[in-house]
Every structure is written in C-alpha cells, then in structure tokens.
Chain A
Amino acid sequence: MERAITEPMASTSEQNGLTPRRWLQSLASLERKRLRGAAFLGSLAGFQTVFIVTGLAWLIDQLVVHDRAPRDLSLVFILLAVAVVVRALCQWASERLSLDASLRIRRYARSQLLDKVTALGPVWLTTQQSGAIAAQAVEHIDALDGYFARFHPQMRITVWVPLVILAVVVSLDYLAAIFLLLAAPLIPLFMALVGMGAERMNRDQFAAVARLSAHFIDRVRGITTLQLFGHTVAAQEAVWQAADHYRRLSMRTLKLAFLSSAVLEFFSSVAIAVVAMYVGFGLLGYIEYGPAPSLTLFSGLAVLLLAPEFFQPLRTLSMHYHDRAAALGAAESIVNTLNQPPVMRTASPPATQDPEALVELEGVEVSYAARGVVLGSLDLILRHGDVVAVSGESGSGKSTLLALLAGFVGASQGECRHAATNQVAWLDQQPCLLQGSLADNLRLADPEATHEAMQSALTRAGLNEVLNALPQGLDTLLGERGVGLSGGQAQRLALARVYLSSAPLVLLDEPTARLDSATEKAVVEALLDWAREGRTLVVATHHPAVIAAASRHLRVVNGQLQEVLA
C-alpha cells in the first residue's frame, strides 16, 4: 500500500471532548470500589498508627512513672502487638486492592486503545509509526500504574488521617493541637507548593530527558555513518558532553524543586522539636498557662509521637506526585489516538442488487480530512470471476480504490454494495510477518486451518522446499527470534495465505514490485491460478503480463476511473 495516504489529522482532543484528566477519571470510576477500599484500608492503617502510638505512650507512662512491671501490663502489650499485626494486614490489603485496581484499569485501557487502533484500520495506520503505537500500548499504559496504585488512594488518606490525629491531639492537649492547627492552613499551601514544584520539575525534566534521549537515539541511529567516516570517537565524546550538559542544566532545576519537599521535611522536624520543648518545659512546670500544667508523660509522649504522623500522609503524597504527572503525560498521548475520527467503513455494507455482482460502487467518493476528495466519483460493478488490472501513476488513487474495496476506508459520498460472502484476501508489496510460528503466519488468513490445508497452501505457493528445510516444520518460529525469510520467501508466504483463504475477492497492491525474477514469475502464475479457480481479482499493477492476463483493465487518473477496452 502506498505510504502517506492521509496526513495525520489535527489534534482533536477538544473536538471529541475526551481530555487526559477526564479519561483518567473515567478509568478510576471503573474500579471505584477497589480504589475506595484501598483508601479506606489505608486510612484504617493510619488510625491504627494513632492507636498504637498512644498505646505505646501509655505503656511507657505506666512503666516509668507508675513503676509497674511489664509483666503486669502483658495484656496491653499483647493488645498493641495485635494492633501492629492488624495494621500491617490493613496496609497489605490496601496495597493489594490498589494493585488489583491498577492491573484491571490498565487491562481495560489497553484493550480500549487496541480496539480503537483496530477500528481506525490500515489506512490510518500507514500514517503512524508502529513503534509509537506500541509505546502507547505498553509503556504509556504502564505509566498509569503509579497514579491508580499509589497516588489515587493516598489522596483520600491525606484528607482523613491528619484530621483524626488532630482530634486525638486536641483531646490530649489543646495547646499542642494549636501548634499543629497553625500548620494546618499551611498544608494546602504546601500541597500547592509541592504540586507546583513537582509539576514544573516533572514537565521540565520530561522535556529535558526527552531531548537527551533524542540526542542519544539520533547518534545511535546514524552509527553506521559515524563508523564509515571514522567519526566514532568524537561522537562518543559528544554523547558524554550532551549528558553532562543536561546534568548541569537539570541540577539548577532540581536544586529549586527539592526545596519544596525540604519545606515539608522542615515542618515535620520542627513540629517534633517544638512539641518536645513545649511538653518538656510543661512537665517541668515552667509553663503555667493553658493545659500545660496538666500534662503527663503519657499525654506528652503521645503528642510527640503523633506530631510527625500528622505530616506523614502529605509527605507520602508528595513522593507519589510524579506518578500523577507521568500518568497525565501518558494519558495525553493515548487520548490523542482515542479521539481520532473514524476512517474505516463502519456499518456492514448493503447487499448488491445484481446477483451476479460481487461489489457495486455507485457515485462513490472517498475523501480524507487533510486532502479533500482523493477518489471519485466512481461507478463500478465487479462481477464474480472478473480479473481486473488497475494501473495509474503513484498517488493517482489506485491504493485508495483497493482500500475502499477492502473496507479500509468508508465512502464519504455514494453507496458501496457488497455481496453476502464478503470476505477479502489481501496481498501487498510488503507482506507482514508476525512474530510467531509459520503456522501462526498462515492462520492469519484462516485461524481454523488444519495442518494439511496449510501444507497444501505452502506447496502451491512454492514453499514446499522451505517447509522441508525448517527444523520444526510448521511450528518453526519466524522473524527476529527464529528463522529469517528472504523477501521472495515472504512474498510466497503471502501467496500461501491467499491459497489458504477461501475469500472470493482477492485484492493485490503491486504484488510483483521489488521482487527477484523467480518470485515475480511465481506471483504471476498464482494470479492465473486464482483466476482459474473463479476468484475475483483486483490487481494494482504496471506489470505487462498481469495486465495482459486480466479480463478488464481500469486506469486511475487523478482519482477518476477509466475502463481501457482491449
């Protein structure tokens, strides 16, 4: 198929209304129960921490001040030990739940993306890089993990746990609570600060990392040229220089960005210090106002141990903040694909009116968003057994005509009618080789095919010798991790696929281009073979032998069809 049939559509996130944030929200709502459960259990673990810490303070008070032996308090010890174990269980269950939620969400998101890619079809995909789509389906989908598994539950935990801690501290010593409360209005401020810092850091870092990787990849891609010119040593030096330049640049940003988390750290440390001094002086009797005189070792220690816990959820959240930024970045690229307008023929086509006809085109036009009408308007009737050669300059619309007949694009005008047995066999210049066995590569044409049928198809395509030479026969792996096929062998494999499939309509896009002479001959013979079988063939070609063998010859000129009469 000719490359670049359509230009990439303009970014359509706004048109379709799906934005990265909205998409993430809709994904989260799929697993609402698990995510809520994870947040609930996580908060529960936080509450248990409060219980354990106050329990510990009480035990210490009993032991040190009231001179009770540990043996007398064994029940409390056991109770606290149980609480510790239960808290660990809660943490474990919370993590498991959010892990499950994240796995399910990613599975769903990936299937949503792959469905969309399937629905957009081959014509749209020719404008895309397969590596980029693969990155979306693998790396970008996995980048959602941290957001759902960590950030999302932690957001709710950060709301509830500090509130409970504050309530407990109020009941112990309201002056200490006021210290924390004074810090409390600062919390949203610091959240914003951390957010802004992290957001900017992430954005800058992503961009800088991308630039650095691009530089590295650029040099690796051209390594052959560097070798040929004996320029490798200088290039290696340049790779180091680029990375070192990046280091110096990003250290400037990092020094600032780390400040925001240092502030949080500072607050948590200062809270401990202030509380310790206040409680200490209170216990010594130096402070005579407020609740200070009624402080005990129990209430003092409890407040001391609760102070850092008050800030802990926020510190955890700020640690997970980059998960959110990573997820948003990934979502942006995926949503861009999800928002693409449909290209393929959508509904099943209407049936032909003439029983003899396989395909009827009536006043059909095909247009692409970026290029306008590229084909049409066409009127064409394909009858059973027609062998049609289609010729024309590259870019005239030959490939679009084949894509239309295959259903890879829908008609923007007019009507396309197909006979009920609407299966199509496809063959182009670059047959696709799947990463799998030879049998898998044939099943592509007929997933239910038997081994006998596959063997016979391979024999008819002239691959019998190859099959015999393969170590594991049909189960031999092909491609990168298996046996490599030459271009001619790959094209013969594509012929075998057509033999295997019972599709009455065979569409071929320049099947003889770029082939060695022996394979070229094999392709022409196969064409004649299929014509004798009574299949309908449409071949885009310049090959004189193919044009001569055809029963009809169409020429495409600037998107218009002309029948060439013999």
Chain B
Amino acid sequence: MSKVYRQFLPWLRLLTRRRRALMLGALLAGITFLSGVALLGLSGWFITASALTGIALALGLSVSLDVYVPGGGIRFFALSRTVSRYVERVYNHNSVLALLAELRFHVFGQLTRLDDLTLGRQRASDWLTRLTTDIDTLDNFYLRVLIPPLVALLGSAVIVAFIAIWLPGVALFLTVVLSLLWLVTTLGLAAWGWRQSYRHVANQEVLRHLVVDQVQGSAELTSYRSHHWHRRIVDSHEHKALHNQRLVGSRLALGNALVAAVTSLVALAVLWVAGEIFVQGLVAGPIVVMAVLMALGVNEAFSVLPNAFVRLGASFAAAERLNKLAQADAASMAAPAGSTLSDRGVSFEQVSLRYPDALDLALDDVTFHLPAGKRAVITGMSGAGKSTLASLLMGRLAATRGAVHVLGKVPTELSMTYRAEHMAMLTQQVDLFDDSLAENLRIADPSATDERLWQVLGDVALADWVQQLPKALDTPVGEKGQQLSGGQARRVALARLMLRDPDVVILDEPFASVDEVTARYVATSLDRWLAGRTVIYFVHQIDQPDLLPRIDYHWHLDAGKLSAMPIDGS
C-alpha cells in the first residue's frame, strides 16, 4: 500500500498543485449532481404535496399549498443542472489540458537530463509511443479517479445530511450503506482489478514487441518457413492477454451491476423504513417521497466509479514507468570525482566500456592522446565502437574502466552548459525539428542575426538554394527534416554547428550523402572554421583524403579495439 502511494505521490502532487482548480472542478461536478437529485426530490415532494392537498380540497377541507416556491425551485434546479453540467465540462477539460501541458513539461525536463545509456536503450519509436500513452493515462486520472469519488462522497454526505433533518434513522442507514458502497466501488474494485489491469500494460507491450519481431524477422520467418511457429507464440500470448482483459471486463460488469442493484434496493429500503415512520405519523408524506427519490438519484454519482477504479492498476503501471525515468535521471546526475590534466586536448587512458547486459566490451582498453589544436580521424565499421567513443568524449557516458579527459577535465563531471559551450558534435543521425529553417539553426545560437544565418548557409553552399525558396529562412523543414534531402539536412546540421565557437569538435561522417563537388566546397569552409580547434572525424573509411585536410593522427577501431594507422597523403 505504501509502495502504491509512493509511486503515485509525485503525480498526485503535480495533479493537485492547482488545488483551487481541483476544488472548483469538483464543486461544479457536485452542483451538477446535487441539482439532479434536488430536481427529482423536489418534484416528488411537490407532486405528493399536490396530491394530498388535492384530496383534502376534494373532501372540502380548507387547505392551501404554496405552488410558487416549489415551482420556482423545480425550474431553478432544471436550469442549474444543465448550466452547471456545461460549465463543469468546460472548466474541467480546461484544467485537464493545462495539466497535460504541465505533465509534458515535467516529463520532458526529466528526459533532457538523461544520458546516452538510458536514451540509447530505448527502441526509439516504441518507447515514444509508450511515453505518450503513459502521460495520457495520467492526465485521464484527474477526470476519472480524482474528481468522481470526491463528488460521490461529498454529494452523498450533503444528501444524507438533508434527509437527516426529518428522518435521522433513514439518514444513518444511508450513511452506512453508501459508505460501504463507496469503499467497495473505489478501494475494493481497485484492489480486485489491480493485478489484471496492471498486467494489461505489460501484455500490450509484449504483443507490440511480438508484432515488431514478425515484421523485422519477416525475411527469416518466410524463408525458413517458420511463420506458423512464430504465429503460435503470438496467438498463445494474445490468448493470455485477452483472458486477462476478460477478467478485468467481467469484474467491471459485476461492479456496474452492483451499483445499479444497491442504489435501487436502497431506495426501496428507504421507502419501507420511511413508510413505517409515516404510518406512525412522525413524518409527512411528501418528505417520504422526496427521501426515496433522492436516494434513487444517488446512482448517478456512483455509476461512474467502477470503470475508473477497476483499471487503477494500469494507471499505477504508467506512473511507475514514468518514475523510472526520474530515477534514471537522478542516477545520471551522479558521477565520481576524477583528476584534472593540464593538457586541454583529448586523452583516453586504458578506457573500457561494457554496456549493461552486454557480453562483450564495446570499447576494449582504448588509449590515445590528441593534443589541443590537432586533428585526428578514427575509422571503423558501424558497431566498432565509434559512437560509444564519441559519447564518452562528450561526457554522455561514463567509462567502465580507465580515464577520459577532455579539455583537461573529466567530461562527465562538466555541467551540461559547459560541455555545450566548449564541445560540439555533429551526430551521425541528423536531428532537425519540425520548425522553420531559421529556428533549426538558432538552436545553436538563439541570438544569431539573419545575416549570420545567411553566412553559415553560404559556408555549406545552401544560401543560393534557400534564397530561391519562397519562404527563404522561414521554410519549414518538416518532421525529421523530411522536406530536405539527406545531403541538404547534413549541410544544415553543419551550418548549425558552425554557429558555435567550441574548443573540441567531433564530426561523425560529416559528408555522408553530400555529393562530391559540394563536399569539397563545404570541406574548405569547414577547414577554415576548424582552425585552432581540436578535431576528431569519425568515418567508415577514408575515401577522399582531401576532404579531411590537415590530419595529424589516424586511428582505426575494430570490435572495440583501437590501433594507430599510418597517415597517407600529406
């Protein structure tokens, strides 16, 4: 129980931070509920009072009934129910959307503090789907799990207190039954459906993985004729998953039936007890009818509870997973203290790195020294350890063994701002954002003037092309930069890099998919910009040595091992 509370706590805090909004939202929902109950109860009272007065009048008794106050009340409640329902829906949806913004802000903040180990471990698209689903689950939490039980509890309390004015015994009975019903439909159903709804989330994920396997392994499965074998695995998992859903669904059905049965039986019971009291002449007829109809109206507040609570385990699973991000975030902040060097170049001293759960070392006893202001090229196939090496250099990963120094310091100990200021890297996969060209460039330097942007675009031979675009610098580049060709995207990324003034520069395949003539032009301006900086190029192999001028060192990486190579050409 305390574990459950701990996992939910950070989110509950976030959700209830705007306490006034929550209270007002619940109040509006409560007014809607109570207006409905009051409308029914008052109508019942009025009809009964009218009937009794009518009979008395028919018998020639002189009685009178004020029809204006109850009539006005009925009209008022009919209107207030409609209006408050509308206002409540608008207000609460606004709150939920505001929360969504805050949830995303919060989660994104955690993500920005993650290191490459955690980021790299996630299968990109898969993880993103899960992340957004989890956030959505939590933002549903507000409207489904927080407000309705509050309304059911407080609303019922008001109704019971009102009935207690005339029928204290009936009110006591209602208190006991409704409290029990509330506990059963909230905590009871949550506990009953917990395991299954919790498991549901994991089940969906396994199913997704199995389908991804079927797609990615399609060539093997088709050629080896083992499709049926894999399908049987999918089917047996699906069978289990659907059985699990059936359990959750049937518990929900039972919960719904319970609410419907109990609220109606309660109304019958109230009629019986109040009827006995009426027979004794201790209460007026219209009050009896009002109490019965009000008890009947309680159903509206309770009927929404089972669906929210039987699935509480799933919300818990979502909160738990998002919390794991926060933990990884905290873990990646901690780094051991290391020595500093006077040299401001790059040095690796017997560095090894093993990814968690990997059998082999990704980097195996790597030692090299690149003095400040010199240039090196490191060649190697993909998977040889180049990106691992780059991550270590940029302080985005910590070495398992050995010492890494950049600018004389241990990179993992440098603050992110310092690293961003003094070190720059062109990643192998170019990240452009779904924004304008100018916005994408200004990520590197938010204060850059248009002239400056044109200048760097000129350096990468894109200025002419951008000039003839109708929106020029404001041209949107599309999601993942899809509006640009691969070569153009890479040059935009290079231009972005050149807006900065770092001491250490890492260039991962700087000319991939750039045609030869352009590459030569870009290499010249790149060379100019690189003057005086410490540079490491990462390439598969050196196809054109003239694109990488002034190389001082050449190392080769093969299966995590680094070896020195002769420098060809000049």
Check if B271 is an interface residue, CB within 8 A of chain A.
yes
Taking a contact as CB atoms under 8 Å apart, the answer to whether B111 and A482 are in contact is no
Contacts of A507 in B (CB 8 A): 223
The distance in angstroms between the C-alpha atoms of A380 and B364, with both chains bound, is 48
The distance in angstroms between the C-alpha atoms of A480 and B216, with both chains bound, is 15
For the complex of A and B, 4 pairs with smallest distance between CB atoms: A230-B420, A243-B101, A222-B431, A487-B383
The distance in angstroms between the C-alpha atoms of A126 and B114, with both chains bound, is 32
The distance in angstroms between the C-alpha atoms of A258 and B48, with both chains bound, is 35
Between A and B, 20 residue pairs with Cβ closer than 8 Å are: A63-B285, A77-B272, A84-B268, A88-B260, A103-B249, A118-B221, A134-B126, A139-B129, A218-B434, A221-B124, A227-B416, A228-B427, A231-B444, A247-B100, A265-B82, A269-B82, A280-B50, A280-B71, A408-B219, A434-B230
Contacts of B77 in A (CB 8 A): 269, 273
The distance in angstroms between the C-alpha atoms of A487 and B362, with both chains bound, is 10
Check if A4 is an interface residue, CB within 8 A of chain B.
no
Contact code string B23-55 (vs A, CB < 8 Å = 1, else 0):
000000000000010011011101111111111
Taking a contact as CB atoms under 8 Å apart, the answer to whether A133 and B81 are in contact is no
Contacts of A284 in B (CB 8 A): 50, 53-54, 57, 65, 67
Contacts of B267 in A (CB 8 A): 56
Taking a contact as CB atoms under 8 Å apart, the answer to whether B226 and A444 are in contact is yes
Contacts of A431 in B (CB 8 A): 220
Contact code string B156-183 (vs A, CB < 8 Å = 1, else 0):
0000000000000000000000000000
Taking a contact as CB atoms under 8 Å apart, the answer to whether A244 and B101 are in contact is yes
For B114, the closest partner residue in chain A by CB is A223
With A1-B219, A221-B431, A514-B383 already in contact, the answer to whether A483 and B108 are too (CB < 8 A) is no
Interface residues of B in 234-258 (CB under 8 A from A): 234-235, 238, 242, 245-246, 249-250, 252-254, 256-258
A-B contacts besides A70-B276, A134-B208, A297-B48, 14 pairs, CB < 8 Å: A1-B219, A67-B279, A84-B265, A131-B212, A134-B211, A134-B215, A231-B443, A262-B86, A269-B36, A269-B82, A406-B223, A407-B222, A408-B222, A446-B226
Contact code string A418-456 (vs B, CB < 8 Å = 1, else 0):
000001111010011011100010011111000000000
The distance in angstroms between the C-alpha atoms of A85 and B261, with both chains bound, is 6
Segment of B89-97, B333-341, B398-406, B457-465 engaged in the interface with chain A: B89-97
Contacts of B480 in A (CB 8 A): 218, 221
For B429, the closest partner residue in chain A by CB is A224
The distance in angstroms between the C-alpha atoms of A130 and B300, with both chains bound, is 44
Taking a contact as CB atoms under 8 Å apart, the answer to whether A425 and B132 are in contact is no
The distance in angstroms between the C-alpha atoms of A304 and B218, with both chains bound, is 64
Check if B417 is an interface residue, CB within 8 A of chain A.
yes
With A129-B125, A134-B208, A466-B359 already in contact, the answer to whether A432 and B53 are too (CB < 8 A) is no
Interface residues of A in 121-153 (CB under 8 A from B): 121-122, 125, 128-131, 133-135, 137-139, 142, 149
Contacts of A304 in B (CB 8 A): 43-44, 47
For A228, the closest partner residue in chain B by CB is B425
Check if B79 is an interface residue, CB within 8 A of chain A.
yes
Taking a contact as CB atoms under 8 Å apart, the answer to whether A435 and B47 are in contact is no
Check if B467 is an interface residue, CB within 8 A of chain A.
no
With A91-B257, A445-B220 already in contact, the answer to whether A247 and B245 are too (CB < 8 A) is no
For A507, the closest partner residue in chain B by CB is B223
Contacts of A1 in B (CB 8 A): 219
Taking each of A52, A63, A431, A469, which has the highest tally of chain B beta carbons within 10 Å of its own beta carbon? A63
Taking a contact as CB atoms under 8 Å apart, the answer to whether B108 and A220 are in contact is yes
Taking a contact as CB atoms under 8 Å apart, the answer to whether A280 and B46 are in contact is yes
Taking a contact as CB atoms under 8 Å apart, the answer to whether A254 and B210 are in contact is no
With A284-B50, A447-B226 already in contact, the answer to whether A426 and B276 are too (CB < 8 A) is no
Segment of A94-102, A371-379, A387-395 engaged in the interface with chain B: A94-102
Contacts of B109 in A (CB 8 A): 236
Segment of A15-23, A156-164, A187-195, A209-217 engaged in the interface with chain B: A209-217
A483 to chain B, nearest CB (A): 5
B128 is contacted by which of A80, A133, A221, A273 (Cβ under 8 Å)?
A221
Contacts of A95 in B (CB 8 A): 249, 252-253, 256-257
Contacts of B124 in A (CB 8 A): 221
A482 to chain B, nearest CB (A): 7
Contacts of B421 in A (CB 8 A): 230
For B105, the closest partner residue in chain A by CB is A240
User: Interface size of B by Cβ–Cβ distance < 8 Å?
Assistant: 151
The distance in angstroms between the C-alpha atoms of A407 and B224, with both chains bound, is 11
Contacts of A254 in B (CB 8 A): 89-90, 93
Contact code string A60-78 (vs B, CB < 8 Å = 1, else 0):
1001110101110000010
For B113, the closest partner residue in chain A by CB is A232
The distance in angstroms between the C-alpha atoms of A230 and B355, with both chains bound, is 25
With A64-B289, A118-B214 already in contact, the answer to whether A406 and B222 are too (CB < 8 A) is yes
User: Interface size of A by Cβ–Cβ distance < 8 Å?
Assistant: 152
Contacts of A247 in B (CB 8 A): 94, 97-98, 100-101
Check if A401 is an interface residue, CB within 8 A of chain B.
no
A145 to chain B, nearest CB (A): 9
Taking a contact as CB atoms under 8 Å apart, the answer to whether B382 and A488 are in contact is no
With A65-B52, A216-B104, A424-B223 already in contact, the answer to whether A138 and B112 are too (CB < 8 A) is no
B214 is contacted by which of A63, A117, A276, A282 (Cβ under 8 Å)?
A117
With A84-B268, A280-B47 already in contact, the answer to whether A426 and B292 are too (CB < 8 A) is no
Taking a contact as CB atoms under 8 Å apart, the answer to whether B89 and A258 are in contact is yes
Check if A171 is an interface residue, CB within 8 A of chain B.
no
Check if A259 is an interface residue, CB within 8 A of chain B.
yes
Contact code string A78-114 (vs B, CB < 8 Å = 1, else 0):
0011001101110110011001100100110011001
Check if A239 is an interface residue, CB within 8 A of chain B.
yes
Interface residues of A in 453-478 (CB under 8 A from B): 466, 469-470
Contact code string A503-523 (vs B, CB < 8 Å = 1, else 0):
100010000001111110000
Taking a contact as CB atoms under 8 Å apart, the answer to whether A272 and B40 are in contact is yes
Taking a contact as CB atoms under 8 Å apart, the answer to whether A130 and B216 are in contact is yes
B1 to chain A, nearest CB (A): 28
B272 is contacted by which of A70, A85, A111, A515 (Cβ under 8 Å)?
A70
Contacts of B301 in A (CB 8 A): none
With A280-B67, A487-B382, A517-B558 already in contact, the answer to whether A251 and B97 are too (CB < 8 A) is yes
The distance in angstroms between the C-alpha atoms of A267 and B326, with both chains bound, is 49
Taking a contact as CB atoms under 8 Å apart, the answer to whether A117 and B93 are in contact is no
With A236-B105, A285-B54, A424-B223 already in contact, the answer to whether A483 and B93 are too (CB < 8 A) is no
Check if A351 is an interface residue, CB within 8 A of chain B.
no
Taking a contact as CB atoms under 8 Å apart, the answer to whether A103 and B119 are in contact is no
Check if B552 is an interface residue, CB within 8 A of chain A.
no
Taking each of B112, B125, B221, B227, which has the highest tally of chain A beta carbons within 10 Å of its own beta carbon? B112
Taking a contact as CB atoms under 8 Å apart, the answer to whether A240 and B292 are in contact is no
Check if B294 is an interface residue, CB within 8 A of chain A.
no
Taking a contact as CB atoms under 8 Å apart, the answer to whether B359 and A484 are in contact is yes
Taking each of B238, B246, B359, B496, which has the highest tally of chain A beta carbons within 10 Å of its own beta carbon? B359
The distance in angstroms between the C-alpha atoms of A407 and B222, with both chains bound, is 9
Check if A352 is an interface residue, CB within 8 A of chain B.
no
Check if B21 is an interface residue, CB within 8 A of chain A.
no
Taking a contact as CB atoms under 8 Å apart, the answer to whether A432 and B67 are in contact is no
Taking a contact as CB atoms under 8 Å apart, the answer to whether B101 and A488 are in contact is no
Check if A333 is an interface residue, CB within 8 A of chain B.
no
For B80, the closest partner residue in chain A by CB is A269
Contacts of B431 in A (CB 8 A): 221-222, 224-226
Contacts of A447 in B (CB 8 A): 226, 229
Taking a contact as CB atoms under 8 Å apart, the answer to whether B268 and A81 are in contact is yes
B112 is contacted by which of A217, A235, A258, A486 (Cβ under 8 Å)?
A235
Taking a contact as CB atoms under 8 Å apart, the answer to whether A515 and B381 are in contact is yes
For B261, the closest partner residue in chain A by CB is A88
Taking a contact as CB atoms under 8 Å apart, the answer to whether B215 and A130 are in contact is yes
B260 to chain A, nearest CB (A): 5
For A271, the closest partner residue in chain B by CB is B78
With A64-B289, A89-B257, A426-B223 already in contact, the answer to whether A225 and B443 are too (CB < 8 A) is yes
A271 to chain B, nearest CB (A): 9
Check if B559 is an interface residue, CB within 8 A of chain A.
yes
With A283-B51, A515-B381 already in contact, the answer to whether A246 and B97 are too (CB < 8 A) is yes
Check if A277 is an interface residue, CB within 8 A of chain B.
yes
